[in-house]
Structure 1
Amino acid sequence: MPENAAHELMLFGLSFNMETLKMTWMVMVVVVILSIAATRSLKLVPAGLQNVFEMIITGLNDQISANLGKRGAMFAPFLISLFLFLLISNWWGLIPGMESPTNTLNTNLGLALLVVAMLHILGLYYKGTKYIKSFFEPFAPFVIIKLIEEIAKPITLAFRLFGNILAGELLIHILPTLLPNIIAEVIPGVVWLAFSLFVGAIQAFVFTMLSTSYLAEGVVEEEE
């Protein structure tokens, strides 16, 4: 039996990768624990984990408000939670014996489809027929281009994250076999690890900001 098949569960004709699901749940637990630890004993002058979380939340809130306007506060919890999940997921594979949930296309595509589904549901809720008409503007044939754009949104979101995280994890394992012993001990252990942490954070931020800009299409009124 192939190694991947040993981690798969068939249910109602669908295949579930149990290893990915396990890693995903582990990441979610870590996010919850870190969130509780950062907010358990709040101080007027933040320090340690509280300070880190406040910096993240403040920075993301500014970006979310700039994109979503008056409705930014409503969607900030979802978008900040999305960022934290992606951030820890992207870094998870750097821990020996662990794999990043985001190095699997299914995870990324699922998140991307969720964001695009929210966009269309919110667009119909807040704008009604105006949202539908926007697909046919400025001319009716433009609906074809708009539909292609909507199909491309989840695909580009998912593949960008998948490619970067998977490539980072593979290079950490491959570099030691390609470099001289002395260099191999330094680059994968320090330089490449630091670079992977940086890329993981950037990719989480990019995914979250693109998701924010997509949601803005459905929730921001033209006068805003």
Structure 2
Amino acid sequence: MSAESNPVEYINHHLTNLCIGQCESMGFWSLKLDTLFISLGLAALLVYASYRVGRHLHLSEPGGMQNVLEVVVEFVDQQVKDIFPGRNPLIGPLAITVFLWVFLMNAMDLIPVDLLPKLAEVMGIHGFKAVPTTEIDTTFALALTVFALIIYYNVKIKGPLGYIKQFLFHPFGKYLVPINIIMTTIEEVAKPVSLGLRLFGNMFAGELVFLLIALLSLAGFGAAWLPQVILGTLWAIFHILVITIQAFIFMLLTIVYLAMAHTEEEH
């Protein structure tokens, strides 16, 4: 494929999934194998690394990976202590898992955009997206999982009747029940929507910038390569901050929403 002669086809090719099922319409019965493979592979890598570190803990002489994980654990634990009321043994491990998994999926965007698709083509695979969080399916799957926990803890802490009363009497009291139901429903639905769309939008935009920089590089020649390489490097360095912030925001909002579900005060 000639990127400089057909940039639209080049971008579309990089945005095409390895898919089975209703792939042309991307209907409900489409299965994006590349997204599943990468996200589950990164999850397995995270579990393996945690297992290895856990099996070889050294209190006196911690290794490099142990130091990194200890910093992450202490950082996340402090966020939970600052935000979360009371104590729930699930919240800390959940927050750490969310942060590390989302960060690793985001970090796939730092791999050169042509590398994995080219390797896939060598193996006869035409269409491969390497960044799971540039798929709205992935980000909404994560967000809806958090939303299910929000509903579960709302019902568990406040009781079914208390959770229903939240829709009836919040935010304007008992005299405006119909408006309260609409407003509170919008407020609740906005939680997974904001979680999913924020992560997807930022990561998808970042991937498009990498593709545009790749187009400039592929179309360049001679001395034109130098500014393009510099531009790509600078964007990659900046993108490290972006992927970290997006993982942090997703984790932080998860803690905040679950903290709201654990308090019996109306919001």
TM tier, shorter chain? 0.7 to 0.9
Match of 1:68 in 2: 84
Structure 1 residues 129-140: aligned runs within 5 Å = 129-135=161-167, 136-137=169-170, 138-139=172-173, 140=177
CA contact (8 A) 1:176 1:185 kept: no
Matched, 1:173 2:211: yes
CA contact (8 A) 1:68 1:220 kept: no
Question: Alignment identity in percent?
Answer: 32
Match of 2:136 in 1: 105
| 1:87 corresponds to which of 96, 99, 103 | 103
- C-alpha RMSD of matched pairs (Å): 2.2
TM-score relative to the length of structure 2: 0.75
Q: Gaps (5+ residues) in structure 1?
A: none
Bigger radius of gyration among the two: 2
CA distance in structure 2 between the partners assigned to 1:127 and 1:83 by the alignment: 28
Q: Which amino acid aligns with 1:114?
A: T
Matched, 1:192 2:207: no
Tell me how many residue pairs correspond in the alignment: 218
Deviation at residue 207 of structure 1 after TM alignment:
0.5
56-65 or 92-101, which deviates more: 92-101
Secondary structure of 1:93's aligned partner: helix
Match of 1:18 in 2: 33
Deviation at residue 176 of structure 1 after TM alignment:
4.2
TM-score relative to the length of structure 1: 0.88
Structure 1's consecutive aligned runs of 4 or more residues displaced over 3 angstroms after TM superposition are: 2-6, 176-180
Q: Which amino acid aligns with 1:48?
A: G
CA contact (8 A) 1:108 1:161 kept: yes
CA contact (8 A) 1:71 1:219 kept: no
196-205 or 94-103, which deviates more: 94-103
106-115 or 150-159, which deviates more: 150-159
| 1:144 corresponds to which of 163, 182, 189 | 182
Match of 1:9 in 2: 21
Instruction: From the superposition, tell whether residues 33 and 177 of structure 1 become closer, same or farther in structure 2 (CA, over 3 Å).
Output: same
Instruction: From the superposition, tell whether residues 181 and 39 of structure 1 become closer, same or farther in structure 2 (CA, over 3 Å).
Output: same
